[in-house]
Amino acid sequence: MISKELLDTAFHINSPELLAQYLQATCDAYGITSKEEICAFLAQTAHESNNFTAMSENLNYSDVGLLKTFPKYFSKESAKQYARKPSDIASRVYANRMGNGDESTGDGFEFRGAGFMQITGKTTFDAYSEDKQMTVEDVSNYARTLEGACDSAGWYWWKQNLNRYVDDFETLSRKINGGTNGLEDRIDKYHSILSVYPE
């Protein structure tokens, strides 16, 4: 059973009272049921969300940050124009991919990363909205609430059938992040929660 005390002990945080309740409801709803599945889900979502604090992608980059993170999309000159303008940055870097329209539509910002698994792009939000029977605009907002951040992460986990990778953390991390970014922290978090999770 997921509890506030469990989360706080495993991840050294002071979590919101409702977080454990929402995470438990999410695991129940999306078939994340074994000890290993639950601990893997919690470890991965904790890593992706900076210990359950980030429910929406932060794109408030400086010009230097833009050039380092998105060198494909910015020159030195354009980085200065876009710096510290999250909506403009998202609209540019996520334009014309993942189901988003061009930069002028603002889709990149509307469908920027959301929830504890940072679901991204109109195609993904469309699929989530269809399964939730909500409008795409409503799920975009919902995924940025505490309840929705949990639920959208569980939905993504279920949609990608990630339970099958809990014994292979590198592959699991690649399926979530596209690479092995933060792999050591993800593994550390998994062992930390596994060690205190009740039998």
What are 173's two structure tokens?
């991390």
Tell me the pTM: 0.93
- The pLDDT assigned to 179 comes to 87
Can you tell me the distance from the alpha carbon of 123 to that of 23, in angstroms, rounded to the nearest whole number?
25
Predicted pLDDT of residue 78? 97
The pLDDT, as a whole number, for residue 92 is 97
Mean pLDDT rounded to a whole number for the chain: 96
Q: Name residues whose C-beta falls within 8 Å of residue 169's C-beta, 6 or more positions apart in sequence.
A: 40, 183, 186, 187, 190
Give pLDDT, residue 110.
95
Q: Which two tokens stand for residue 23?
A: 């995470």
Q: Identify the pLDDT of residue 178.
A: 85
Confidence of residue 171 (pLDDT cuts 50, 70, 90): very high
Residue range 65-115, pLDDT digits in tens: 999 999 999 999 999 999 999 999 999 999 999 999 999 999 999 999 999
pLDDT recorded at residue 181 = 86
What are the residue ranges spanned by the domains of the chain? Answer: 4-55+116-196, 63-110
- In this prediction, residues 172-179 reach a mean pLDDT of 92
| Maximum Cα interatomic distance, the chain, rounded to a whole number of Å | 57
* pLDDT, tens only, 117-135: 999 999 999 999 999 999 9
At 20-66, the pLDDT tens digits run 999 999 999 999 999 999 999 999 999 999 999 999 999 999 999 99
What is the C-alpha separation between 120 and 97, in angstroms, rounded? Answer: 10
Q: How confident is the model at residue 193 (pLDDT cuts 50, 70, 90)?
A: very high
